[in-house]
Structure 1
Amino acid sequence: MRYSRFLSRSAAPLAAVALPLVLAGPSAAVSGISVSTTGTNVSVVTSACAQNNGSWGTASLLSSGRTSFAQGRQVALSGTTVSQSAAWSGVAPGTYTVMVVCSNGVSAGTQVVIVSAASTPTVAASAAVRPTPSRGVLGGLGGSARDYGALTLGAGAALVGSAVIAGAWFLRRQPRSCRRY
């Protein structure tokens, strides 16, 4: 009898931790796309696509005024089960829309990107001037950077908070004979 009571007490913290995971569901798993520009190069990274018949999917770069996927410069996605990517080079300055469609026909996401005119580097006259990194240290696969949105960070904070509360509740509810001082 005492054993079953202990199991019911230990199941409560587990349920408190599992509940936010269940509520988060698939919306937390889908990452969408991340688009970046370097000079006249545009690249897109996603982890939402699965390989189907040897293909991950296709990315399309649409210039302003273009609205359908077929009207853009299309590039096949390449990568692994963790990350897929595509890139365009020699992109003229302007505003573009990047669309990614997985090989199963499902859209991985759409994002607007601005390509600015490439600036020519200048040499500093003083040797004391050191260049500073513009984006800090990049983490991830192949030096890619991923910007997690507010929803993802909020879900993570809720999970950590609920685990702390459940752990404290569990320790507080233990019988005095089990506590060690």
Structure 2
Amino acid sequence: MRFAKPLIRTGPTAAAAAALALSLAPPAAAAGISVSTSGSTVSVTTTACTQINGSWGTASLLTGSQATFSQGRQVALSGTSAGQSAAWSNVSRGTYTVIVMCSNGNTAGTQSVVVSSAPTSSPSPTASPSRGVMGGVGGSSTDYGTVTLVAGGALVGTGIVGAAWYLRRRTRPRRL
């Protein structure tokens, strides 16, 4: 019969065990960026960049055959001091590397991502308003409410009925 003794580590032994465990752990994702995919869209977020002359920086999406930041598909970061982001749409299946370069020249991080969905061959339909008219000055759109549409319809209907009544009345022969 064997008796097990509890293994108690203290001092330098515990520190060495912790260092060994950390060295054997898989590498953590880049601390400065977070990369995600949704279908054939790749997006990256970071909080590492600061705005300089109106620019937060640039993110680059590199294929396996591309080696430098400038060779990838570059997108300007947008956002606020709370966080910046960039996205690439219609990305083909494969493994990519995302690099974020802040406007001050520092690299916020580098991370690999796998895209498993193929891009759609036709462009996705654009959203249209359920009511109202798209367009206007400067590409703005106006979405009218139900009350406005009902009131406008009532005015138009009243105008049509009034016009028909007036024209009918004018076309009757007058009796003397």
- Structure 1-normalised TM-score? 0.48
Considering fraction of residues, name the structure with more helix.
Answer: 1
Higher Cα Rg, which structure: 2
Give the number of the structure with larger relative contact order, counting CA–CA contacts within 8 Å between residues 6 or more apart: 1
